[in-house]
Amino acid sequence: MARPTPLSGFPEWLPEGRIVEQHVLDVLRRTFELHGFAGIETRAVEPLDQLLRKGETSKEVYVLRRLQEDPDAPPERGGQLGLHFDLTVPFARYVLENAGHLAFPFRRYQIQKVWRGERPQDGRFREFVQADIDVVGAGALPYHVEVELPLVIAEALGELQAIGVPPVRILVNNRKVAEGFYRGLGLDDVEGVLRSIDKLDKIGPDAVAALLVAETGASTEQAAACLELAAISGSDATVVERVRALADVHGAGHALLDAGLEELGALVRAAAERAPGVVVADLKIARGLDYYTGSVYETVLVGHEQLGSICSGGRYDTLASDGANSYPGVGLSIGVSRLVSRLLSAGLVRATRSVPSAVLVAVNAEDQRHRSDAVAATLRARGIPVEVAPAAAKFGKQIRHADRRGIPFVWFPADGADALGQVKDIRSGDQVEADPQVWAPPAEDRWPRVVATTP
Amino acid sequence: MARPTPLSGFPEWLPEGRIVEQHVLDVLRRTFELHGFAGIETRAVEPLDQLLRKGETSKEVYVLRRLQEDPDAPPERGGQLGLHFDLTVPFARYVLENAGHLAFPFRRYQIQKVWRGERPQDGRFREFVQADIDVVGAGALPYHVEVELPLVIAEALGELQAIGVPPVRILVNNRKVAEGFYRGLGLDDVEGVLRSIDKLDKIGPDAVAALLVAETGASTEQAAACLELAAISGSDATVVERVRALADVHGAGHALLDAGLEELGALVRAAAERAPGVVVADLKIARGLDYYTGSVYETVLVGHEQLGSICSGGRYDTLASDGANSYPGVGLSIGVSRLVSRLLSAGLVRATRSVPSAVLVAVNAEDQRHRSDAVAATLRARGIPVEVAPAAAKFGKQIRHADRRGIPFVWFPADGADALGQVKDIRSGDQVEADPQVWAPPAEDRWPRVVATTP
C-alpha cells in the first residue's frame, strides 16, 4: 500500500493537535454545563426530504446509499438518507420527536461533526465539528434568552484566552430593526434589501447601492438610507439613539423598528455590564434573515477578522412545528474546526507534550517487567498517567523514548523487591529517590496542558 | 411537519441517557489516558477502495455522493468515498499517512461513531460508537503488549462496575495454538477449520464435526480432536497443560503450538495476578483469524452473555504496510452503543438528574432578573452549575420547574441589594440563608451522577 495522502476538506490532527482540539471541546462543554445546558447527540443522518426543506442548501448534502443495495427492494422507511450539514435540522427533528419527554424551555448543547458536500476551497471544510447551544420553548420563549446566549458564548470563548485564543468580538443586530427601518422607508422587499446589504463587505457600498436600486426598486435616496443604517455600529446605548435619529431624518418610523430597538438596546446594555467590550451592535449584520426573527449574531477573532465568523446564530420563532405547537428558539453555533485549524496553523497554541503520560517507568530487564508494571499501577491508582517502557533497552535509549514524546519523568524501579525507586526529571536532570505510594509530579506536569505559544 | 419517528438502527438517547453514555465515555477516556494512550480522531470517510480491501464487508458500506454532483465532472482525487465501518481501517491509513510524525510504538485510543449499511435486526445498529485502543509498532512489537491491552480493558470496564455495569469476562485464545494444533493433527486448511469451529455456539458440536469432515477433509477422529480442543477453557495455567496433554494424545505436536502455548500461559498467569477472575482462556474463540496472528479476545458481560461480545480484538502482524515498513499491532474495540443501550434498556443505571444544573436561581420579578443573573454568575465562577428561572412566575411554579428536571436546589435572591439569599433543598424542604460567595451544594449533588439502579 502506497503512503496515502490527505483528503482535501477533511481535516485531521496529529496527537498534539488533537490535545488542543480536545481541550477546546472540554472548555466549551464545561462552560455550557455550568450554564445548565444538557448535552445531546443526534444520529449523523436525516431523511433527505428533511435536509432539503431549505432548498438553497441542497447542493451541500452528501447522500448515502448502501453499496449492495438491491435496486428492486422497496424504499426503506424514512426514504433516502443524507448526512446532516448542521446541528439545527437534527435538533429540530429531535425536539419534535421527543417533545413529550423534554421539559421546556429546553436548554441543550450539542458538539458533533457535520458534513457539506461542496468543493473545498479557501480553507472550507467538508467535515467539521460544530458546538451548538440552543434554548427552545414550547409556544413561547422570552426575549431575555437573546441576551443570555451570546453572553454564554462570550464566557466560553473568553475562557480560551488562557491558551492564547485571541479575544472575540460578538457582532449583534436585530431583524426587527432592519425590517422596521426598511418598511418605514417604504421598502417592502425586505429580504431583497437584506440580501444586497449582506454583500457589503464583498462588493462595497457603491455596488450595493446600485444593487438596491436595480433589484429592490429602491430610489437612490432610499438606497443611501439603507447604507447609512448599515454603517452604524457601537457597543453602547448611543447606537439606539443614532438609529432612531436616522429613522427620524428619513421619516422611517415603524412599530417594528421601535420593538427591535428596545431589544437591541437591552442586549447592548446587559452585555456592557456583564462582558464589557465584547458585544458590539453592528447594523450591517444580515445572516439569512428569512430564518431569523429577532437578534442575530456573528463572532470574529480580534486580529483575525478575515477568518470570518467563528460563531453565528440568532433568534428564530419557529425552530420546529408539529401543528399543535411551535417551538421558538435562540441558538449559536461555534465552528470548532475552523477555530482549532487557525490556532494550529498560526502557531498560536501548543500542547506541552504529545501523549498523556507524565511518567515513563523504565524496565531494568524483561524478566523484571512485572516490577515496572507494579510501579505504574500504583501511580495510576493515584491518578497519575503512566506508561511502561516498551523494551528493556539501555537506560539512555529509554530516556530518549520519553524525551521524544515530551514525557517529563522517567522512573527507575529498584532492582530488588524494594518499592522505592529513583525518579528523574529529564528536563533538569534532577534525580531523587521516590516511593510510588507518595511521589507525584508537580500539578502542572500531571496532564498535558495547552498553552499559548509565547512570541 | 408531522411528528417524526425514530430511524431503526440509529440509536439516540434522551438527555438522561446521554448523561449515562457521556459518563461511560469519560471513564473510558480517563482510563486510557492514565495508561498513556493518546487520543486521535479520524475523518468519517475513507476512499471506497480502502474500505473494500477486505471483500467480505463490502455489503456493509455506506457510499457517499454529492446531491448536486455533476455526472460529467472528472472523478475527484481519492475516488468514491464511504463511511468507515470500524476504526481499524482509518487508523491503519492514519498511521501510514503520518508515520514520519508519530513515535513508535504508538499508543492511541479513538472514540468515534462508525456506520454499517446492513439491514437492522436483532438490536443491530447502523450507527454506533466504538472505543478502540491499539498499540502499533514500526517493524516489530513485543508480545507483552498482548498481555497489557486486555488488562487495560479489564480496568476500564471494571471502573464501570461502580455505576452498575455487570462484571466482565475477557475470553482469550491464541491463533498460534489453534493453527499449531490443527497442523500437528495433519489438517492444513486452518481457516476452514476455524470457520467451522466459529459456528460451535450456533449449531452445536455434532454439526460442527460434520462440517469439519465435509469441508476441511478431516477424519472423524481429527474432527473430534478439534472439538476437544475447543472445549478447553479455564483461568489458570492448567489450561496450557490440558492443551499439551491433548496434543500428546493425538500426536499433534508442532513448533507453532509450543510458541502459542507459551504466550497463552504468560497471558493467563499475568492476568490471574493483575485482574483475578477476569481473563479466561477459551480455546473455542476464533474471530476472523485470517486477520489476527496471535492473541484474540472477546468480552462478555457476566449474566448478559447472550448480548454477545462487547469488546473484541487481537494481535495482527500487519496493521498496515507501505513497502518499506510493516506495522504490527494489538488492539481491542469496545462496542459502546451496545453496552449503553443494554444498560439503559435493562434499567441497570440511571442519572441522578437530566440537566447539569445543581441550582435554579428563582426570579422575583422580571425587572429584578439582573439580581438572579448575578447570583448565578457568582456560583458558576465557583464551579457550580446553575440556571436562572425562565420566568418570574409564582415561586411554587419555579420550584416545580426545578423539580421536573431533578435540580435539587432553588435559590431565592434577596429583594434588595443584599447579596445574601435563601437556598432551599427541594427534596427535604430545608431552607437556609446563604451567601453565593460561600455556599456550595454537597459534593455528591454538584454534578449529575450516574448510579446503579438499586433493585
pLDDT of residue A287: 76
Task: List Cβ neighbours of A230 (8 Å cut-off, separation of 6 or more).
Answer: A197, A200, A283, A284
Average pLDDT, chain B: 92
CB contact under 8 A, A377 and B4: no
Q: What angle, rounded to 10 degrees, do the helices at B175-185 and B190-197 form?
A: 120
A57-to-A9, A406, B72 alpha-carbon distances in Å: 18, 45, 21
Q: What span, in angstroms and rounded, lies between the C-alpha atoms of B375 and B412? A: 9
Share of chain B above pLDDT 90, in %: 79
Q: What span, in angstroms and rounded, lies between the C-alpha atoms of A124 and A107? A: 30
In this complex, is the C-beta atom of A214 within 8 Å of any C-beta atom belonging to chain B? no
pLDDT in tens, A51-98: 887 665 556 899 998 887 766 666 666 689 999 999 999 999 999 999
In this complex, is the C-beta atom of A113 within 8 Å of any C-beta atom belonging to chain B? yes
In this complex, is the C-beta atom of A66 within 8 Å of any C-beta atom belonging to chain B? yes
Q: Which of A228-232, A288-292, B97-101, B310-314 has the lowest mean pLDDT?
A: A288-292
Task: List Cβ neighbours of A259 (8 Å cut-off, separation of 6 or more).
Answer: A176, A180
Q: What angle, rounded to 10 degrees, do the helices at A175-185 and A238-249 form?
A: 20
Q: What span, in angstroms and rounded, lies between the C-alpha atoms of B14 and A203? A: 46
Domain with CATH 3.40.50.800 in chain B: 359-452
Q: Is the dihedral of CA B179, B181, B184, B186 positive or negative?
A: negative
Phi/psi region, residue B385 (left: phi>0; alpha: psi -120 to 50; beta: rest), is: beta
Distance (Å) from the alpha carbon of B356 to chain A's nearest alpha carbon? 5
CA A138 to chain centre: 26
Q: What span, in angstroms and rounded, lies between the C-alpha atoms of B337 and B343? A: 10
Q: Which residue of B has its CA nearest to A109?
A: B15
Distance (Å) from the alpha carbon of A424 to chain B's nearest alpha carbon? 18
Radius of gyration (Cα) for chain A, nearest Å? 28
For A266, other C-beta atoms within 10 Å of its C-beta total: 16
pLDDT of residue A75: 64
The count of CB pairs under 8 A between chains A and B is 247
Taking residues B206-219, report their average pLDDT. 94
Share of chain B above pLDDT 70, in %: 94
Q: What span, in angstroms and rounded, lies between the C-alpha atoms of A249 and A262? A: 19
As averages over each run of 10 residues, the pLDDT of chain A (455 residues) reads 81 97 98 98 94 70 84 69 95 96 97 88 84 97 96 97 94 95 94 91 93 94 96 92 95 91 94 91 82 94 91 92 90 96 93 97 95 96 98 97 97 82 97 96 98 83
AA identity, residue A222: Q
Distance (Å) from the alpha carbon of B398 to chain A's nearest alpha carbon? 12
Domain with CATH 3.30.930.10 in chain B: 1-167+302-351
Q: Of all helices (H) and strands (E), which one includes residue B174?
A: strand B168-174
In this complex, is the C-beta atom of A74 within 8 Å of any C-beta atom belonging to chain B? no
Q: Which residue of B has its CA nearest to A62?
A: B66
Q: What span, in angstroms and rounded, lies between the C-alpha atoms of B409 and B386? A: 10
pLDDT of residue A236: 87
pLDDT in tens, B192-201: 999 999 899 8
pLDDT in tens, A234-259: 998 899 999 999 999 998 888 999 99
Q: Are A246 and A229 in contact (CB under 8 A)?
A: yes
Q: Are B141 and B294 in contact (CB under 8 A)?
A: no
Distance (Å) from the alpha carbon of A383 to chain B's nearest alpha carbon? 7
Among the partner-chain residues A38, A94, A117, the one whose CB lies closest to the CB of B356 is A38
pLDDT of residue B287: 76
3-state SS track over B397-421: HHHHHHHHHCCCEEEEECCCCCCCE
Note the CATH architecture for domain B359-452.
Answer: 3-Layer(aba) Sandwich (3.40)
Among the partner-chain residues B2, B18, B117, the one whose CB lies closest to the CB of A66 is B117
Q: Which residue of A has its CA nearest to B358?
A: A36
In this complex, is the C-beta atom of A18 within 8 Å of any C-beta atom belonging to chain B? yes
A102-to-A372, B323, B445 alpha-carbon distances in Å: 51, 55, 22
CATH class of the domain comprising B1-167+302-351: alpha beta
Q: Which residue of B has its CA nearest to A6?
A: B97
Among candidate residues B283, B334, B297, B267, the one with its CA nearest the CA of residue B169:
B297
Q: Of all helices (H) and strands (E), which one includes residue A201?
A: helix A200-216
Instruction: Read off the DSSP letter of residue B11.
Output: -
Distance (Å) from the alpha carbon of A251 to chain B's nearest alpha carbon? 32
A26-to-A235, B106, B403 alpha-carbon distances in Å: 30, 24, 28
Q: Are B351 and B340 in contact (CB under 8 A)?
A: no
Among the partner-chain residues A36, A41, A270, the one whose CB lies closest to the CB of B386 is A36
